[in-house]
């Protein structure tokens, strides 16, 4: 059965069938080829896969991001960060990274980061004398931070599939996200030695205070989410509800930048995105069941451990596999497809599941920002008004800080697990 599923899956993907449908059809064909398994089991597993209270957080955080985007708060955040650090050499490049860090605490999506901040960042950098290619590449690279710093939809998916505490995953993502921002800033500083990037005029304290007052309520969003989560005040699902409620109040009652007539469109966009994610989860659940009952997962684990039982070698193989898959296939689909397969192997080798989750998500987010099918590249190329080919060439130098961060997080688990060890002893 598993051979039929795999062949059918890759054939359907080659035919450009959407990932969720390809997985579901492949499992159906596999069940048809294996008469002992009634087709009704597939639908039972699909329902069971989405019958998880934790998954309620997904539409709530998606709604939060959509409301924040509609309210146009990215401009307030960008202006404040620019006033704080824009006057140093290359300051606008650092502003781009810093804005992504702040926005990551509200949205949790790399593509949303690139789309929301991209147009404004690229225009501001281009107007200040940066090349369009550099501005677009930096925007795409910094969008990787979005799903690493909580709240993070990929962490919610991984936690639900691997049965790992989402609170621990959120806590574990903080230092790697900040580390990547730091490495990216160091890389910009190195590039500045050759390119001599421009700087903004030094701002006045009055200007900084004014931009801070405009951005304060937006800046409070990640503080509320992280403070409540890490302080044990509410669960990830409750955090999503609080964040969505707070974003609703800011959008319609405080900033009043969006009319109530736009609300149905925002809700429909949220429902469509959520439906796609949950449909993939339901189909992956049936696939995971097929892998277990046919003992294919055990066979794969045995094959990998036959290569090496060294956890360091296994992590290297995982990095190569996930970056490759993430550069071709939608990151959420790869995460949901590979988590049930790889996590049992990681546990057998003694790898902490929280650390492994961070490594998996970081790998896939890098895949989003590198050729040939990195979605963040296509989005950023569109908002920057350049060809995808130029975007592919421009991103190449930024692959270095991405992989430096990945290697540090992969082989320094104590750094990744430091905050979870403090908050969840």
Which pLDDT score, from 0 to 100, does residue 403 have? 94
pTM: 0.82
Task: Please indicate whether residue 295 or residue 201 has the higher confidence score (pLDDT).
Answer: 201
Mean pLDDT computed over 71-76: 78
pLDDT band at 123; cut points 50, 70, 90: confident
Q: Which of 15-19, 89-93, 186-190 is predicted least confidently?
A: 15-19
Examine the pLDDT at 391 and tell me if it is beyond 80. yes
- The pLDDT assigned to 108 comes to 65
Q: What's the rounded Cα separation, in Å, for the pair 283 and 57?
A: 19
Among the listed ranges 69-73, 152-156, 414-418, which one has the minimum average pLDDT value?
69-73
Q: State the average pLDDT over residues 224-233.
A: 80
pLDDT surpassing 70 at residue 61 = yes
> What is the CA 373 to chain-centroid distance, rounded?
16
- Average pLDDT of the segment spanning 121-137: 88
- Residue 178 exposed, middle or buried by CB count within 10 Å (0-12, 13-18, 19+): middle
Q: Quick one: angle between helices 205-230 and 73-85, nearest 10?
A: 120
Report how far residue 237's alpha carbon sits from residue 69's, in angstroms, rounded to the nearest whole number.
Answer: 21
Q: Does position 180 have pLDDT exceeding 90, yes or no?
A: yes
Q: How far apart are the C-alpha atoms of 359 and 272, rounded to whole Å?
A: 28
Tell me how far CA of residue 211 lies from CA of 99, 205, 373, 420, in angstroms: 14, 10, 37, 34
Residue 417 has pLDDT above 90, yes or no: yes
pLDDT digits (tens, 9 = 90+) for 321-342: 888 887 777 777 788 778 888 8
Residue matched to tokens 């985007």 = 69
pLDDT given at position 43? 77
CB atoms within 10 A of CB 216: 11
Check residue 113 and give its pLDDT.
67
The pLDDT of 88-115, averaged and rounded, is 79
Which stretch of 67-71, 136-140, 186-190 has the lowest confidence by average pLDDT? 67-71
Report which of residues 200 and 294 the model is more confident about.
200
Q: Supply the pLDDT for residue 185.
A: 94
Percent of the chain with pLDDT over 90: 22
Q: How far apart are the first and last CA of the chain?
A: 44
Q: How confident is the model at residue 45 (pLDDT cuts 50, 70, 90)?
A: confident
32-40: list long-range contacts, CB under 8 Å, 24+ apart.
Answer: 33/1, 33/4, 34/1, 34/4, 37/1, 37/293
pLDDT digits (tens, 9 = 90+) for 5-26: 778 877 887 787 876 788 788 8
DSSP 226-266: HHHHHTTSS-HHHHHHHHHHHHHHIIIIIS--S-GGGHHHH
Q: Which residue has the higher pLDDT, 266 or 1?
A: 266
For residue 208, pLDDT over 70 is answered with yes
Q: Which of 40-44, 349-353, 385-389 has the highest mean pLDDT?
A: 349-353
| pLDDT over 90 (residue 406) | yes
Chain mean pLDDT for the chain: 84
From 4, 18, 11, select the one nearest 329 (Cα to Cα). Answer: 18
């Amino acid at each position: 059965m598993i051979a039929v599923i795999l062949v059918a899956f890759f054939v359907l993907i080659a035919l450009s069938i959407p990932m969720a449908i390809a997985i579901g059809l492949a499992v159906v064909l596999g069940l048809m080829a294996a008469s002992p398994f009634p087709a009704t089991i597939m639908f039972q597993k699909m329902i069971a896969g989405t019958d998880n209270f934790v998954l309620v957080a997904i539409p709530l955080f998606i709604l939060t991001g959509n409301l924040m985007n509609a309210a146009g708060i990215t401009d307030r955040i960008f202006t404040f960060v620019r006033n704080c650090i824009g006057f140093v050499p290359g300051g606008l490049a650092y502003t781009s990274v810093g804005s992504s860090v702040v926005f990551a605490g509200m949205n949790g999506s790399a593509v949303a980061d690139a789309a929301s901040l991209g147009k404004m960042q690229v225009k501001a950098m281009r107007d200040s004398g940066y090349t369009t290619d550099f501005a677009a590449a930096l925007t795409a690279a910094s969008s990787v931070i979005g799903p690493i710093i909580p709240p993070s939809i990929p962490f919610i998916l991984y936690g639900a599939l691997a049965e790992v505490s989402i609170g621990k995953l959120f806590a574990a993502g903080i230092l790697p996200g900040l580390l990547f921002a730091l490495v990216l800033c160091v890389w910009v500083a190195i590039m500045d030695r050759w390119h001599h990037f421009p700087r903004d005029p030094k701002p006045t304290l009055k200007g900084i205070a004014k931009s801070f007052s405009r951005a304060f309520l937006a800046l409070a969003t990640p503080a509320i989410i992280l403070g409540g989560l890490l302080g044990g005040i509410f669960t990830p699902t409750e955090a999503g509800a609080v964040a969505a409620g707070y974003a609703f109040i800011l959008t319609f009652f405080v900033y009043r930048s969006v009319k109530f007539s736009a609300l149905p469109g925002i809700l429909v966009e949220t429902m469509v995105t959520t439906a796609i994610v949950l449909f993939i989860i339901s189909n992956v659940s049936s696939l995971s069941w097929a892998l277990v009952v046919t003992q294919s997962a055990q066979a794969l684990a045995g094959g990998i451990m036959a290569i090496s039982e060294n956890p360091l070698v296994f992590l290297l193989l995982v990095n190569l596999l996930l970056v490759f898959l993430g550069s071709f296939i939608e990151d959420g689909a790869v995460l949901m497809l590979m988590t049930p397969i790889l996590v049992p192997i990681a546990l057998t080798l003694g790898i902490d599941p929280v650390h492994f989750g961070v490594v998996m998500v970081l790998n896939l987010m890098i895949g989003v920002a590198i050729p040939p099918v990195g979605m963040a590249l296509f989005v950023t190329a569109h908002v920057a008004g350049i060809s995808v080919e130029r975007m592919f060439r421009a991103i190449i130098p930024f692959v270095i800080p991405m992989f430096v961060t990945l290697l540090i997080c992969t082989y320094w688990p104590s750094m990744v697990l430091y905050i979870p060890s403090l908050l969840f002893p």
